[in-house]
């Protein structure tokens, strides 16, 4: 697969994971999210998918699209994957309610 096709495939994966996060928390309030482990874990899983896919986007594509915070996305994936005791539910909530909708908008325009 050519690098640009790979980039599109990873962007598609990121977009689909972002869409799922938006669906998971649609009209959900913080209190419900904080107490619903299944939803929290589902959101965390999709954030992992987004970060893993972002990590595989070519350096050239990343440089062409600095509007997407590639390094922050990958760093969050690394925290989720490796620092279990350090994961703050508040940060997941902020990512899901603020960062992911913005990212989804950017990804939709790229695809």
- Residue 92: both structure tokens together: 């997941």
Catalytic residue among 19, 40, 62, 77: 77
- 77 catalytic per annotation: yes
- The alpha carbon of residue 13 and the mean position of all alpha carbons in its chain are separated, in whole angstroms, by 10
Catalytic residue among 26, 72, 82, 91: 82
- 26 catalytic per annotation: no
Give residues with Cβ within 8 angstroms of 103, minimum separation 6. 14, 18, 50, 68, 73
Q: Is residue 29 a contact partner of residue 108, using CB atoms and an 8 Å limit?
A: no
Known catalytic residues are 77, 82
């Amino acid at each position: 697969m050519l690098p640009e096709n790979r980039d599109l495939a990873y962007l598609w994966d990121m977009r689909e994971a972002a869409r799922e996060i938006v669906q998971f928390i649609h009209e959900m309030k913080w209190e419900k999210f904080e107490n619903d482990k299944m939803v929290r874990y589902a959101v965390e899983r999709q954030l992992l998918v987004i970060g893993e896919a972002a990590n595989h986007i070519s350096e050239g594509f990343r440089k062409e699209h600095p509007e997407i915070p590639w390094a922050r996305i990958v760093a969050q994936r690394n925290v989720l994957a490796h620092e279990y005791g350090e994961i703050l539910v508040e940060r997941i909530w902020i990512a899901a309610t603020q960062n992911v909708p913005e990212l989804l908008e950017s990804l939709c325009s790229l695809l």
